[in-house]
Amino acid sequence: MNRPALGTAATAVKSVPSRTDERSLARLKNEHGRALFGFLLGLTYGDRHRAEDLMQETLVRAWQHPEALTTDHESMRPWLFTVARRLAIDARRARQVRPKEVSDMALENASMPVDPTERTVAGLDVRKALTELSPEHRAVLVHVYFQGLSVSEASEVLGIPAGTVKSRTYYALRSLRKALREYSELS
């Protein structure tokens, strides 16, 4: 029976640790960190937060793959830059797939939705206040504000001088404001 000698096949396979040790990782970051960050900053169009995230992810990959550090290459920089570039591409593709993120500033600047109930109540109050006006004042407000006529057009329709339209509009609005203030005080 032929048995292989101890140490021949067993020594041919190198034992590679499952993770990169801390000192090697720290040395890698010290040697290539600034250049890697600058490279990532360019890939992220100056977004420092994304560049930092991608740099950390690149170093995590170096930590997870200690065999990459044990090659006979003079520098690890090409490997790091390749990993970083691929991570940046993957991150960009992932951002394009999901909906655009909204910042807090956009939410703060957004207008509040109009409550139709309040608008309806205000409309009812205005209608009620209009009924308390004299027919002349009500007619002027209806033509000028609700139908959008100019002062001269309203004066033609109503058959009164433009100055009268102006003064009736002024006094009608004063009466309307007073009536609406009273309604708001009652509620």
Q: Could you report the per-residue pLDDT of 96-149, keeping only the tens digit for each?
A: 887 776 667 666 777 777 778 888 888 888 888 888 889 999 999 999 988 999
Sign of CA dihedral 15, 69, 31, 55: negative
- Name the band, by pLDDT with cuts 50, 70 and 90, for residue 26: confident
How much is the pLDDT for 10?
44
Q: What is the pLDDT of residues 165-181, one digit of tens each?
A: 999 999 999 998 988 88
Q: Which CATH architecture has domain 19-99?
A: Orthogonal Bundle (1.10)
**How far is residue 10 from each of residues 95, 144, 176, measured CA to CA in Å?**
47, 100, 100
Domain spans of the chain?
Answer: 19-99, 116-186
Q: Which fold has domain 116-186?
A: Arc Repressor Mutant, subunit A (1.10.10)
How much is the pLDDT for 183?
75
Q: What is the pLDDT of residues 69-100, one digit of tens each?
A: 777 777 788 888 899 999 999 888 888 887 77
Q: Are the beta carbons of 110 and 149 closer than 8 angstroms?
A: no
Q: How far apart are CA 55 and CA 134, in angstroms?
A: 76
How many CB atoms sit inside 10 A of residue 178's CB? Answer: 11
Average pLDDT over every residue of 51-78:
83
**If you compute the radius of gyration of the chain from its CA atoms, what whole number of angstroms results?**
39
Q: Are the beta carbons of 175 and 133 closer than 8 angstroms?
A: yes
